[in-house]
Structure 1
Amino acid sequence: MGIMGYLRERMGKILAGVIGLALFAFIASEVVQSGGAFFRGDANNIGEVNGEKIAYVDFNQRLEQSTQQFKQQSGQSITPQITNYIQETTWNQYLTELLLNKEINKLGIVVGTDESQAMISGSNPDPQVQRQFAGQDGQFDKNKLNQFLSYLQSPKVEKAQIDAWGDFVKQLIAAKKQQKYMALVTNGLYVNSLDAQDDYLAKNKLANFKYTVLDYASIPDANIKLTDDDYSTYYNEHKSEFKNQQELRSFEYISFNAAPSKEDTLAVKAQVDKLVAAFKATPNDSLFVQINSETKAQIVYQKKGQLEPKLDSVMFAADKGFMYGPYLSNGSYKIAKLIDSRVGPDSVKARSIILNPATAGGVDKAIAKADSLKKLIEGGKSFADLAKTFSVDKASGDKGGDMGTLGRGTLPPAFEDAIFNGKTGDIKIVNAQFGVALVQIEEQKGSSKVVKVAVVDKPLAPSSKTQATVYSKAQSFLSSLTNENFDAQAKKAGLPIKNAEDVNATAASVLGLDNAREIVKWAFKSEKGTFSDQVFTVGDQYVVARVSAIKPKGILPLDVVKKQIEPMVRIQVKGKQLAAKLQAALNGATSIDQVAQKAGSKVVPLQNIVFANPVIPGSQAEYKVIGTVFGSQPNKLSKPVQGQQGVYVFTLDSFTNPAQLTNNVREKEQIGQALLQRSQGTVLDALKDKANVKDNRAKFL
């Protein structure tokens, strides 16, 4: 039973491992982005990489696996934002795999039979295998692996288990090929002695200089009138910075809030008012909560601080049967009833044997088996030995069922009631959500008052009348629109225009709208300046939108980035004016003090500045200024240098050179390690830039 339970447990983890086996840690964080023709291409293909089509059914299967894995590992509900995250991660992993596999196949990289066998059952198995078959101490347990491999050869094994293991091994081999490919790339990296010397000087050579600066802030923005030539000059000098990796769109929208009206709120309160008397009189509080409450929470004892603040302040001083409310909390009207109060332990040390009803033949048979084990224990059998043999929870079973010391609020209600409401030494059978448990209370610690409070809640929600009224307003606004009057109509209605900037085609949410997928899909089918042909429903909001900008994949034209670059263009124009002022001050000047006096600024001396940390104290990083300093000759006035904060003129006093580098091994190792880390990400960037990627996800997801 112990081995079979272990195998069942392990197969679940291996199935999850097949889904989530990391290609590499560095690859997992990379984002392979693409854009372009979102609504073109084969009807059955979600994308294409270098001519290799990605079928929607194949991608969707992997997406489903990733989603299920996320649910198992996190326990979170799947929100639109999480859905978008999983979709993006799965897509990136898929593209990464295709891009690397093309290079691997081109180079003829293989993993031989002996090598793959050694990865699984050799003296030093692959780390993924070791993690799957770790013991209680976290270390690899070769015996568990051998048991599992023997089980795969037995007649009892199911085809699904064999297939899952086969997929796991395929993923191991694929990852090994990728490791070999990366080794080929990184083994070609080389750091020579000149590299080490330059790095050593950058970190240790000191510069002492004086500077004067005219800040950009000294010229008011209002005094700068930007021309088309100003924009063009900046754009042409920085054109490479405006490469768009994927198509982006922006849209403006008007939202009409269909939140509950005053009448809706009063109607919900009236419903709750009617429940007060019945709640007070009911003999079955749990059933009453299940029937009448929106939140079907089980009722358990709670200590001070575990109730919401309004209840926490009154229930611990109240008598049994005390009613509180109706009161408004977190968007719901609630009524609360004190069912019981008592003094109980703060924590309990317990051990358990967990039985799985599914494998025991049902809940009744699992309870009967637990009762048999209980009688064995009462007859003198070791609880710890039985736990190791019969408990399906191997984490605690291998430790004799030890669950450690447990606090209130950390366990399912039925289990918590059993261990906190019993006494030391009790052995109880509990039918909990995770299985049937035979639990023994070993020790109860502490003592404090606890209360059992039942709460009935009714959330505030807009009535159909409220929804219809608000929708009618949104529809009326939509019918008044033309392509030219969106702003005017919004102003006339007194409605603020909200902006969703630079949205990608697969986005699930935007600023202010948690579930905007339908709006995004519409925006990527529409032309710039067009407004939506329908009113979108997003939660309790009705939305009318207009496409305000389209940024295609590739180098963005000036008109698209003009607004974005305006602050930088203004700085550049100010820089030219300040540079001219400093140049005039330089004419005839023989010292930095004379330049500062003529320019109306002051001189600031700096000591011990290093090239590797180009920060001017009290200011910010000034890469261009410090770089120019280290390329200068002492006792000469520099030309004006446009930096980050303003325009500088400096004079270098001296350099302080470090001791001669006699052993460059450490410097080489440090540089090599940095190169290695950068190269692992850069490889994928290079493959991505070179690849022809078509992304059609927007029409499917």
Structure 2
Amino acid sequence: MGIMGYLRDRMGTILAVFIGFALLAFVAGEVIKSGSSIFRDSSSEIGEVNGSTISYKEFSERLDLSTRQFQQQSGQAISPQITTYLQESTWGQFLTDKLLSKEVEKLGITVGDAERQNMISGTTPDQQIMRQFTDQQTGQFSRERLNQFLTYIQSPQADTAQLKQWGTFLTELIKDKKRQKYMALVSNGLYVNSLDAQDDYNGKNKLANFKYTVLDYASIPDNKVTLTDDDYSAYYNDHKPEFKNKQELRSFDYVSFNAAPSKEDTLAIKTQADKLAADFKASTNDSLFVQINSVNKAPLIFQKKGQLDPKLDSVMFSAEKGFVYGPYLSNGFYKISKLLAVKVGPDSVQARHILIDPSKEGGLDKALAKADSLKKLLAGGKTFAELAKDFSTDRSSGEKGGDLGTFGRNTMIPAFDDAVFDGKAGEIKVLTTQFGVHLIEIQKQIGASKVVKIATVDKQLEPSQKTQNEVYNKSQAFLGGLTKDNFAEQAKKAGLTVKKAEDITGTSASLPGLDNARAFVKWAFKAEKGDFSEEVFPIGDQYVVGSLTEIKPVGYLSLDAVKKQIEPAVRNIVKGKMLAEKLAAATSGANNIDQVATKAGSKVVPVQNIVLANPVIPGSGPEYKLIGTIFGSKPNVLSKPVAGTAGVYVFTLESFINPATLTNAVREKQTLGQTLTQRADGQVLDALKDKANVKDNRAKFL
């Protein structure tokens, strides 16, 4: 294989895969911009981490790389939800990069020249190097390919752009190595001793048998409980770390005016679709008819049962050529489908090809002549695999002797599909497509099924201009009657339901019930609390007007900001005090749990074989405080009231069943150590992020 061809095929993959790995390796579980050009002022700062700025340009470039990777790997369209996910992911990559680079620099972690050389071309190169220079046929690292590449990249013939890419690759490789060393320092500092192992072993294996009685919080009606400012303050102060806001959040109310097609609109479009169906039935050039009349111009390909729209699947395989079905409604379109052809063909094909690039051969005629020459060489005894390795410009398949594997119908482009599925096993064909000239060998055809070729034209079901104007005028009239504090009142007068969007981030692209709501969210992050939108936002088939109700800044949220959120928990604490008094009175003078239950009007529940590591009450749920208290108790002693998750408990521990003695703690220590190590990377990053001074300006740009 020529080194230039290898570079063309692999360099992009090398960089894309490595950069993705290097940036994501330390992000647990973690793209796309919303339509506008990414090239704004390169000095604009989209964020800052501990004084180190992130420019909008570099963020956008990495976002684009993530976008391409996602699309290549998933083949999915970029929805608003994926947009938000990928923006968050890219932002997380920058945070990780900045935070770890700072720690690495602070500790003076380096990669020496000898270590660097060993990572690239030593006895055991870095895994990223080995992965990219793997022989596809053997699955093994190819030292020969690596040396060939290194010789080329250091030669005067090396392409400038490729040299730059290689330099970027090595820079990321070294940065990643430093990060690995940093994480190794943390992991190697973790130590599990024998007492830790014994505690963990007991937590998983020591059994507790007990009886309890409980008074549920739900037994006291909410309206019987009065909450004071002191109740709220006490809970807030005890749980303050839970109220640290890592990014600004905003909440707003909104109303929407439905501009979906009216009955009249639907009828008018249906009439148009009926006429289109009659014209389609009479058409003698179906391909041209689809191109002229269809909104979505699907390729005309053969499909087997199960691949069509369910409505078509039930009729087309028993119909005759020329049959027209519809109009039928599907995904917001009236559609008309025509059966163009029916035949029996293979389910899958095994084939190989040699691709010839006309631009390198001096034109299409010369490329076709070369294909004929290769075909003659095959007839003269040359093997297809041998010729593919030497002449195919599709290097990924050429290295495998042109092998394309076994593939189903519609895997390839339509022209290629037709050539291999309509031919016969053993046949050699010459085919011209947009990719060049193919010399194809059909090696094997597998299975046989009835297939149909369907042409479909569609007419979108959309509101008329009259409908849109009427609804828009209603929304404008509503907007005109708004003041700073009458949003809910005006909505009620207009018979509109006020919807809520709570704790929305500045980069959100969708809201509950509203996709593609980016412009609306951007307004909310420029507004002040109490403001209403000064314009109507068209979102899908809705016209939306909003009112900003709350701003939660970065940092510790105030008690007022979380008061509604914590109210249920505060109420349960107050109820807990009331129930604890009742159980304390029932416990007074009682000799056993049965007497307590009788006095309290509750029942006794026996529980067997509970372990500390899984503190769940059967039939109820997790009760951490209760189970923890039980494992710290003595048998046959009536407990004091314990406020748990579901209610207030009184219990009697009947017995512990101790596990077999842990004679060798080595395995237990190893298991516990591995768990700590696996959690270390994520927890280190969480700690660094928690301490970092981060400025997030994404809401201004995205």
- TM-score bracket, normalised by the shorter chain, equals over 0.9
Q: Secondary structure at the match of 1:441?
A: strand
Q: SS at 2:78's partner residue?
A: coil
Per-residue deviation, 1:494: 1.1
Residues 526 and 43 of structure 1, relative CA distance in 2, 3 Å threshold: farther
1:348–1:210 distance in 2 versus 1, CA, 3 Å = same
**Residue in 2 that maps onto 1:63:** 63
Distance 1:75 1:316, change over 3 A: closer
1-structure distance, mates of 2:610, 2:87 = 47
State the partner residue of 1:588: 589
- Which whole-Å CA distance do the structure 1 matches of 2:364 and 2:548 have between them? 58
Residue 412 of structure 1: how far off its partner (Å) = 1.8
Residue type of the alignment partner of 2:301: V
* Partner of residue 83, structure 2: 83
- For the 8 Å contact 1:133–1:144, the answer to whether it is kept is yes
Q: Secondary structure at the match of 2:308?
A: coil
Partner of 2:654: 653
Task: Tell me what 1:37 maps to.
Answer: none
In the alignment, the residues of structure 1 paired with residue 148 and residue 307 of structure 2 have an alpha-carbon distance, to the nearest angstrom, of 46
* SS of structure 2 residue aligned to 1:27: coil
Query: Shift of the alpha carbon at 1:83?
Result: 2.8
Counterpart amino acid of residue 203 in structure 1: K
The answer on whether the counterparts of 1:6 and 1:392 sit within 8 Å (CA) in structure 2 is no
Deviation of 1:609 (Å): 2.0
1:175 Cα offset (Å): 0.3
Q: TM-score by structure 1 length?
A: 0.94
Matched residue type, 2:61: Q
1:676 paired with 2:684, answer no
Per the alignment, in what secondary structure is the counterpart of residue 257 of structure 2?
A: strand
- Could you state the TM-score of these two structures normalised by the residue count of structure 2? 0.93
Q: Which residue of 2 aligns with 1:140?
A: 141
Identity of aligned residues (%): 68
SS of corresponding position for 2:451: strand
Q: Write the letter of the residue equivalent to 2:293.
A: N
- Residue 588 of structure 1 and its aligned partner are, at CA, apart by 0.5
Corresponding residue of 1:128:
128
Return the offset for 1:21: 3.4
Give 1:35-54 correspondences, 5 Å limit.
44-54=44-54
**Counterpart code for 2:643:** Q
Q: Report the CA distance shift for 1:412/1:59 in structure 2 as closer, same or farther (over 3 A).
A: same
Match of 1:6 in 2: 6
Q: Confirm whether residue 152 of structure 1 aligns to residue 175 of structure 2.
A: no
Between the aligned partners of 2:98 and 2:570, the Cα distance in structure 1 is 41
Call closer, same or farther: CA 1:105–1:478 in 2, change over 3 Å: same
DSSP-derived class of the 1:73 partner: helix
Change in CA separation of 1:692 and 1:360 when aligned onto 2, cut-off 3 Å = farther
1:215 and 1:444 map into 2 onto residues whose CA distance is 68
CA shift, 1:487, in A, is 0.7
Amino acid at match of 1:57: K
1-structure distance, mates of 2:666, 2:604: 41
Tell me the distance in 2 between the aligned counterparts of 1:447 and 1:17: 39
2:333 paired residue number: 332
Report the alpha carbon displacement of residue 365 of structure 1 after superposing the two structures with TM.
Answer: 4.7
Aligned-pair distance for 1:357?
4.8
Whether the 8 Å CA contact 1:214–1:578 is kept in 2: the answer is yes
- Residue 116 of structure 1 is matched in structure 2 by 116
CA apart distance, 1:238: 1.9
Report how far residue 454 of structure 1 moved.
1.1
SS in 2 for 1:403: strand
C-alpha distance in structure 2 between counterparts of 1:690 and 1:490, whole Å:
44
Paired amino acid for 2:134: A
Q: Structure 1: which amino acid aligns with 2:614?
A: N
2:22–2:173 contact (8 Å) kept in structure 1: no
The aligned residue for residue 546 of structure 1 is 547
SS at match of 2:5: helix
Partners of 1:280 and 1:337 within 8 A in 2 = yes
Q: Which runs of 5+ in 2 are unaligned?
A: 31-41
* Cα distance per residue 1:270-322 (max 9 Å; x no partner): 33333334423333221221121111112122222222122222222222222
Q: Which residue of 1 aligns with 2:280?
A: 279
For the 8 Å contact 2:27–2:92, the answer to whether it is kept is no
Higher mean displacement: 606-615 or 62-71 = 62-71
Rounded Cα–Cα distance in structure 2 between residues aligned with 1:423 and 1:548: 69
Please name the residue that 1:485 is paired with: 486
Change (3 A) 1:360 1:74: farther
Q: How many residues align?
A: 690
One-letter identity of the residue aligned with 1:113: D
Tell which deviates more after alignment, 218-227 or 469-478. 218-227
Q: Cα–Cα, structure 1 residues 224 and 633, in superposed 2: closer, same or farther, change >3 Å?
A: same
How far off its partner does 1:3 sit?
4.4
Distance 1:43 1:254, change over 3 A: farther
Residue 57 of structure 2 aligns with an amino acid whose one-letter code is V
Contact 2:63 2:87 in 1 (8 A): yes
Alignment match, 1:609: 610
- The C-alpha deviation readout for 1:567-614, integer Å capped at 9, x for no partner, is 212222221221111101011011111111111122222232221121
Q: Give the drift of 1:126.
A: 0.7
Q: How much does 1:18 deviate?
A: 5.3
SS of the residue aligned with 2:489?
A: helix
Does the C-alpha gap of structure 1 residues 366 and 67 become closer, same or farther in structure 2, counting only changes over 3 Å? farther
Aligned to 2:16: 16
Q: Decide whether the 8 Å contact of 1:21 with 1:171 is kept in 2.
A: no
Letter in 2 for 1:16: A
Matched residue, 2:36: none
CA-CA distance at 1:654 after TM superposition: 2.3
AA aligned to 1:49 is V
Q: Deviations over 1:450-492 (max 9, x none)?
A: 2222111121122333222221111111001111211111111
3-state SS, counterpart of residue 335 of structure 2: strand
Letter in 1 for 2:121: S
Query: Match of 1:504?
Result: 505
Q: Which moved more, 1:204-213 or 1:472-481?
A: 204-213
Distance 1:465 1:347 in 2: 51
Q: Does 1:186 align with 2:187?
A: yes
Distance 1:461 1:434, change over 3 A: farther
What is the root-mean-square deviation of aligned Cα atoms in Å? 2.2
| 1:148 shift after superposition | 1.4
- Name the structure 2 match of 1:534: 535
Q: Distance in 1 between matches of 2:23 and 2:338?
A: 54
**Counterpart-to-counterpart distance in 1, 2:9 and 2:141:** 16
Distance 2:600 2:53 in 1: 64
What is the CA–CA distance in structure 2 between the aligned matches of 1:360 and 1:547, rounded to whole Å?
A: 64
**Stretches (4+) displaced over 6 A:** none
What one-letter code is carried by the residue in structure 1 that aligns with 2:96? T
* Matched residue type, 1:103: E
CA contact (8 A) 1:412 1:433 kept: no
- Rounded Cα–Cα distance in structure 2 between residues aligned with 1:222 and 1:361: 87
* 1:343 positional shift: 2.2
Match of 1:569 in 2: 570
Inter-partner Cα distance in structure 1 for 2:673 and 2:224: 50
